[in-house]
């Protein structure tokens, strides 16, 4: 099968605005090449970050920042690509208007598109998705790589992301994982809204949750999430269902995780309360820092107490306790 491989050439500052734009337009399964990542790898902020860097990562220093994504070569796929080109031009216009700051450049914002075989797509994932320690306990590893635990307490998540969002390397996912690691208790029930590849659902189970329900509106992503649950041998603890946010769900949880985007988190928040036990924890992510205030205000007005807010790059994640 053929796919459209599209590449947006931008700047280091442009990576997050472009990523957010693609996410808002329903594009998932992106590949980011960002020279700034190399600097982060070379500076060991935490003792568990990096001891070895793959040669492929070292090549990043000479790369023009870019984001790759894949679409089906259908009329619908081509219309979406045209819409993305228009949105990219709008982002470039915002640069000229100084919306991102008068010293910020979005780069070329040039979009290159070509037809590739699906085998090329699979190989691209294998080039850029490597084993990574995301938190003190959680390691995310692609299904095709071998990994030997460094510590007995390590929790290893095997993931084959396919075309679903969630490998643990993006700021929105890693922030969620850090909060889940902190707030999940043994025996908890967890609801993962918009579960993508299933990474948060799997992590919840490994962290001690007795039962986890992942909900995903995209049938392809839901199928991939089920495969990943099977890959981690968690079929008895983790269920993945196809659905629209929490509509038609009667599941009551100790913890709700929603790695979506700001507008969806705001829309979802009141309904989350119906699916949480009193004093339950609500973890939301996929929120640009510039929209943090709007989300926090909505969460507070829905009978939640803000516990903490984590920030990474241009993104934030919020942990709140239900006080209904």
Domain match, 87 and 157 both: no
pLDDT digits (tens, 9 = 90+) for 211-226: 999 999 888 788 889 9
pLDDT of residue 50: 44
Domain match, 117 and 177 both: no
Q: What is the CATH number of the domain that holds 201?
A: 3.40.50.150
* Residue 175 buriedness (CB in 10 A; 0-12 / 13-18 / 19+): buried
Which of 110, 128, 146 delimits the end of a domain? Answer: 128
Name the band, by pLDDT with cuts 50, 70 and 90, for residue 40. low
pLDDT digits (tens, 9 = 90+) for 213-259: 999 988 878 888 999 999 999 999 999 999 887 888 999 999 999 99
Mean pLDDT of the chain, nearest integer:
85
Angle at 56 between CA 121 and CA 138, to 5 degrees: 80
Question: Does the pLDDT value for residue 60 go beyond 60?
Answer: no
Domain match, 59 and 151 both: no
Which of 102, 128, 154 delimits the end of a domain? Answer: 128
Domain match, 238 and 181 both: yes
Question: Does the pLDDT value for residue 182 go beyond 80?
Answer: yes
Percent of the chain with pLDDT over 70: 86
User: Nearest Cα to 246, choosing from 224, 219, 275?
Assistant: 275
pLDDT of residue 200: 96
pLDDT digits (tens, 9 = 90+) for 247-301: 889 999 999 999 988 888 999 999 999 999 999 999 999 898 989 999 999 999 9
State phi, psi for 53 to the nearest 5 degrees.
-120, 125
Q: How many residues does the chain have?
A: 324
Domain match, 150 and 76 both: no
CA distance 297 to 314: 19
Domain match, 68 and 180 both: no
Which of 69, 102, 128 delimits the end of a domain? Answer: 128
Name the band, by pLDDT with cuts 50, 70 and 90, for residue 151. confident
CA distance 287 to 297: 13
Q: What is the mean pLDDT of residues 47-60?
A: 51
CA distance 137 to 178: 9
Domain match, 78 and 178 both: no
Pick the residue with more confidence: 104 or 57? Answer: 104
* Residue 59 domain boundaries: 2-128
Domain match, 298 and 249 both: yes
* Residue 203 buriedness (CB in 10 A; 0-12 / 13-18 / 19+): buried
State phi, psi for 258 to the nearest 5 degrees.
-140, 95
CA distance 15 to 1: 29
pLDDT of residue 51: 45
pLDDT digits (tens, 9 = 90+) for 81-112: 999 998 898 888 888 878 877 788 899 999 99
Q: How many domains, the chain?
A: 2
pLDDT digits (tens, 9 = 90+) for 106-141: 999 999 999 887 666 556 556 667 788 899 999 998
């Amino acid at each position: 099968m053929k796919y459209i491989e599209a590449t947006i050439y931008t700047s280091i500052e442009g990576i997050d605005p472009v990523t957010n734009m693609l996410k808002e337009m329903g594009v998932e399964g992106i590949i980011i090449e960002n020279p700034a990542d190399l600097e982060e790898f070379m500076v060991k902020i935490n003792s568990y970050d990096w001891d070895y860097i793959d040669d492929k990562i070292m090549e990043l220093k000479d790369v023009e920042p870019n984001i790759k994504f894949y679409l089906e070569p259908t009329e619908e796929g081509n219309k979406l690509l045209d819409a993305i080109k228009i949105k990219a031009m709008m982002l470039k216009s915002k640069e000229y208007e100084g919306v991102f700051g008068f010293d910020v450049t979005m780069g070329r914002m040039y979009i290159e598109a070509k037809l590739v075989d699906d085998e090329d797509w699979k190989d691209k994932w294998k080039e850029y998705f490597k084993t990574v320690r995301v938190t003190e306990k959680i390691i995310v590893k692609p299904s095709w790589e071998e990994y030997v635990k460094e510590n007995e307490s390590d929790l290893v998540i095997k993931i084959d992301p396919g075309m679903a969002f969630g490998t643990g390397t993006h700021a929105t996912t890693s922030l969620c994982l850090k909060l889940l690691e902190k707030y999940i208790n043994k025996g908890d029930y967890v609801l993962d809204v918009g579960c993508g590849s299933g990474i948060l659902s799997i992590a919840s189970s490994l962290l001690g949750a007795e039962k986890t329900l992942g909900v995903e509106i995209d049938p392809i992503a839901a199928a991939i999430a089920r495969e990943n649950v099977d890959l981690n041998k968690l079929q008895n603890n983790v269920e993945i269902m196809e659905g629209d946010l929490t509509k038609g769900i009667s599941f009551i949880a100790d913890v709700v995780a929603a790695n979506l985007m700001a507008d969806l988190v705001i829309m979802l928040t009141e309904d989350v309360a119906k699916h949480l036990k009193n004093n339950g924890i609500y973890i939301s992510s996929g929120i640009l820092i510039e929209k943090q205030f709007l989300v926090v205000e909505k969460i507070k007005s829905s009978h939640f107490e803000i516990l903490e807010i984590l920030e990474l790059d241009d993104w934030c994640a919020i942990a709140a306790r239900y006080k209904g």
